[in-house]
Chains A and B, each alone.
Chain A
Amino acid sequence: MSRHRDVRNINVADELDDGAVSDGGEEDLSPQEYEQLMSGLDHIRATVGSQEQSGLSDKEIKDTLYHYFFNVEQSINYLLEAQTRKIAARERKAAKEREKAEKLAQQKKAAEASAKLPPAKPKKATGAKLSGASTPVRSTDIRQLDLAGLNLDDETVLPIDEPPPKITVAREKVLEEARKQLEGNADKKTVSLVVIGHVDAGKSTLMGRLLYELGRVDDKTRKAHERASSKIGKSSFSWAWELDGTTEERERGITMDIALQSFATPRRQITILDAPGHRDFIPNMISGASQADCALLVVDAAVGEFEAGFERGGQTREHLLLVRSLGVSQVVIAINKLDQVQWSQARYKEICKLLRPFLIQSGFHPSKTKFVPVGAMAGVNLVARDGDEAQALNAWYSGPTLCDLLDELEPPTRDLDAPLRFPVANVFRTPSSVIAVSGRVCGGLVQVGERLRIVPGDETAVVKAIESEEERLEWAAAGSNVTLHLTAVDPRHITIGSVLCPPTDVVPLVTSFTARIIVFDIQVPITAGTSVELFHHSRDVPASISKLLATLDRASGTVLRKNPRSGEKHVGRGANYTSQHNRFWPYSPSTTDPLRAILCQQGNGEDSHSSWRRDNRSRYRNRIELSL
Chain B
Amino acid sequence: MKLLGKHLDKDGSGYVTLRPDDDEDIWHLYNLIQEGDRVRASAVRRVQNVSATGSIESHRVRLNLTLAVARVTWSPSTAAAGEAASFSTDASTSTSAPAHAATLHISGRVTSENPHVKMGAFHTLDVEVNRDVRIEKDEGGWDSIALGRVEESCVPGRGAEVAAIVCGEGTATFCLLSQHMTMVMHRLEVSIPRKIAANSGAHEKGLTRFYSALFTSFLRHIPYSSPTIRAIVIASPGWVRDAVFDYIMAEATRTGNKALLSTRNKFIKVHVTSPHVHSLVEVLKSPEIASQLKETKFAREGIMLDKFFKMLGADEMRAWYGPVHVALAADRGAIGTLLISDDLFRASDPIMRKKYVQLVEDARQKNAEVLIFSSMHESGQQLNQLSGIAAILTFPLDVEVVEAEEREAKEEEERRKQAEENGEDVNAG
Contact = CB atoms under 8 A, between A and B. Distances in A.
Interface of A: 221, 242-243, 245-249, 252, 256-261, 274, 278, 280-281, 425-429, 491-492, 495-496, 522-525, 527-531, 533, 542, 544-546, 565-566, 580-581, 600, 602-605
B313 A524 contact: yes
Nearest to B285: A603
Given A245-B195, A496-B194, A542-B276, 6 more contacts: A246-B203, A257-B195, A281-B237, A425-B194, A527-B386, A529-B385
A242 B198 CA distance: 6
Contacts of B88: 492
Contacts of A565: 316, 321-322, 399
A492 B316 contact: no
A245 B202 CA distance: 11
B196 interface: yes
Interface string B310-337: 1011001000011000000000000000
Contact of A528 (B194, B273, B387): B387
A309 to B, nearest CB: 19
Given A427-B191, A529-B385, A533-B276, A260 B196 contact: yes
Given A565-B316, A566-B312, A542 B277 contact: yes
A523 B313 contact: yes
Contacts of B383: 529
B86 interface: yes
Interface in B209-254: 237-239, 243
Given A523-B313, A529-B382, A542 B200 contact: no
B274 to A, nearest CB: 5
B372 interface: no
A496 B170 CA distance: 11
Contact of B193 (A426, A528, A544, A605): A426
Nearest to A428: B193
A257 B281 contact: no
Nearest to B243: A248
B197 interface: yes
B198 A531 contact: no
B272 interface: yes
Contacts of A221: 198
A261 B196 CA distance: 9
Contacts of B194: 257-258, 425-426, 428, 496
Interface string B282-323: 100100000000000000000000100110110010000110
B414 interface: no
Contacts of A278: 238
A523 B274 CA distance: 17
B275 to A, nearest CB: 8
The 5 closest A-B pairs by CB, nearest first: A529-B385, A428-B193, A603-B282, A542-B276, A529-B386
Contacts of A274: 197
A604 B199 CA distance: 35
28 contacts: A221-B198, A243-B197, A245-B196, A245-B203, A246-B203, A247-B200, A248-B239, A257-B195, A274-B197, A280-B273, A427-B191, A427-B193, A492-B88, A525-B316, A527-B312, A527-B321, A527-B386, A528-B387, A531-B281, A533-B276, A565-B322, A565-B399, A580-B278, A602-B281, A603-B273, A603-B281, A603-B282, A604-B273
Contacts of B276: 533, 542
Interface of B: 83, 86, 88, 191, 193-200, 202-204, 237-239, 243, 271-274, 276-279, 281-282, 285, 306, 309-310, 312-313, 316, 321-322, 382-387, 399
Contact of A602 (B238, B271, B282): B282
A214 B197 CA distance: 17
Contacts of A260: 196-197
Nearest to A425: B194
Contact of B204 (A243, A246, A259, A604): A246
Contacts of A243: 197-198
B199 A531 contact: no
A566 B309 CA distance: 10
A527 B383 CA distance: 11
> Max chain A CB contacts within 10 Å: which of B83, B194, B322, B382?
B194
B237 A280 contact: yes
Contacts of A426: 193-194, 196
A243 B202 CA distance: 16
Contacts of A546: 385
Contacts of B321: 527, 565
A242 B279 contact: no
A492 B191 contact: yes
A536 to B, nearest CB: 15
A524 B309 contact: yes
Contacts of A524: 309-310, 312-313
A527 B309 CA distance: 9
Nearest to A522: B313
Contact of A280 (B86, B238, B313): B238
Contacts of A245: 195-200, 203
A261 to B, nearest CB: 6
Contacts of A491: 191
Nearest to B87: A492
Contacts of B399: 565
B246 to A, nearest CB: 12
Contacts of B204: 246-247
B202 A429 contact: yes
Contact of B385 (A523, A544, A605): A544
A245 B191 CA distance: 19
B238 A259 contact: no
A535 to B, nearest CB: 10
A256 B312 contact: no
Contacts of B306: 603
B274 A600 contact: yes
Contacts of B271: 280
B388 to A, nearest CB: 9
A125 to B, nearest CB: 26
Contacts of B196: 245, 259-260, 426, 428
B317 to A, nearest CB: 11
Contacts of A528: 385-387
Contacts of A603: 272-273, 279, 281-282, 285, 306
Most buried by B among A527, A544, A566, A580: A527
A253 to B, nearest CB: 12
A495 B273 contact: no
Nearest to B385: A529
Nearest to B171: A540
Nearest to A541: B276
Contacts of B243: 248
Nearest to A547: B385
Contacts of B272: 603
Nearest to A261: B197
A565 B310 CA distance: 14
B386 A259 contact: no
B123 to A, nearest CB: 33
B239 A252 contact: yes
A529 B243 CA distance: 33
B203 A542 contact: no
B197 A602 contact: no
Nearest to A436: B193
B378 to A, nearest CB: 8
B180 to A, nearest CB: 20
B242 to A, nearest CB: 10
A531 B238 contact: no
B239 to A, nearest CB: 7
Contacts of B200: 245-247
Contacts of B199: 245
Contacts of A525: 309, 312-313, 316
A264 to B, nearest CB: 17
A287 to B, nearest CB: 9
Nearest to B88: A492
B75 to A, nearest CB: 16
A173 B281 CA distance: 56
A292 to B, nearest CB: 16
